[in-house]
Chains A and B, each alone.
Chain A
Amino acid sequence: MARVLIVDDAAFMRMMLKDILVKNGYEVVGEAPNGLKAVELYKQERPDVVTMDITMPEMDGIQAVKEIRAFDPNAKIIMCSAMGQQAMVMEAIKSGAKDFIVKPFQPERVLEALKKVLG
């Protein structure tokens, strides 16, 4: 079963996502509240896929994508974006994010994105 790293500064969001994932058979191998921690956890856990929030303290999602991709060019990262963050999502895609999901999360959309990225 695929191993997922959840990155989001809001514990509530992490919880929701974790809920959706676990119910559908994914294994959550770690949770990070900011980009810095996310990079560290990625190197440590080597998850199959990362869900990455964009706006976070310490290091934002875009920078985190860049650093993770620099460490592992095949890293699969799905951005978690709020509405109106179009430009940042594009930036993240340019930096190598594979897909994105939009808050508020709809479980089937989250699962679809994960399934497709893991393809």
Chain B
Amino acid sequence: MSTEQSYEIGEYPDLAPPVTEVGIIGWIRHNLFSSTTNIVITVLTIYFLYVIIPPMLNWIFLDAVFVAESRDDCRAIAQAAGQELGACWAFIGKRFEIFVYGFYPVEERWRVDLSFIMMLAALVPVLFDHVPYRKQGLWFSLIAPVIIGWLLIGGMGLTPVPTDKFGGFMLTLTIGVTGIVGSLPIGIALALGRQSHMPALRMVCVAFIEFIRGVPLITLLFVASTMLNYFLPPGTTFDLLLRVLIMVTLFSSAYIAEVIRGGLQALPKGQIEAADSMGLKYWQSMRLIILPQALKISIPGIVNTFIGLYKDTTLVIIIGLFDPLGMGRASLADTKWQGLSTEIYVFVAIFFFVSCFSMARYSLYLEKKLHTGH
């Protein structure tokens, strides 16, 4: 070979890698065609995508009808254009508001919009480090839930809106975000309580976690909607949505507690010993040393639980609350639009996918940001 050359011992220089190892060609060789199995899988995958994607695009976009008055209308429009009948998105368009706001009074819907914007604004300083005015932002994040609660429920100058008018995506967000925000601190407290040296506290935490984990969420929701009435003194009214919020929060906090316990156990004992030997108090060691590391290890599990919780909000349909899925099913009863269940379910699926996928990506971002090894 022409590149062969002799060097003094100990003087061999670093050479550039061969072209086949780097760049696009290197990537393709390594990732798509590195072995016979790999080649077969690559070819099959390409064929599979070829079969699936064009019809899907046709149904969703090219043959779809976006503006129409009824299902028959959709069909007529498609025929007039000489297309196959694709998705009839006009249905979703007509129903869009009820999907978003549920039965919230039309003239009060600005309150939902404002709440949504406030929620996003409150999330930004919590989720990201390098935003301007983060400190002030975090104070806002702290008080935002109270303001949002007031906006949604009303009273004190605003027209009260009973919570059985909540529905659609705003209901999903209300339950999901409350559950997520509430269950993390409760879960941390339970996980620490379960490791406590005080037997009474430990037993209470273990009993709570095991009871909640041992009972299906639906059962808890039924308990929330009916049984509590038996236990509470007669005449007490306990808002259905509030009961659901409490149950969902407690349910996922039990799971979060176990996920975080896993993280706590993964930490070497030397960490707490080092903190102790320097004279840090229990809560200081937890806040400064143990929890930051345990939570970091637990991120995948925590986000997994949150995604599960978010999707479990669809179960409220069973106790008579109308989340997007419930709204969709109710809309299907309309004779004008009968038989369009695919559109409804695809639409709801996209909504959930976007939310959950964002959470998953955020957790990856967080893991990368907190990685401090080499």
B partners with A: no
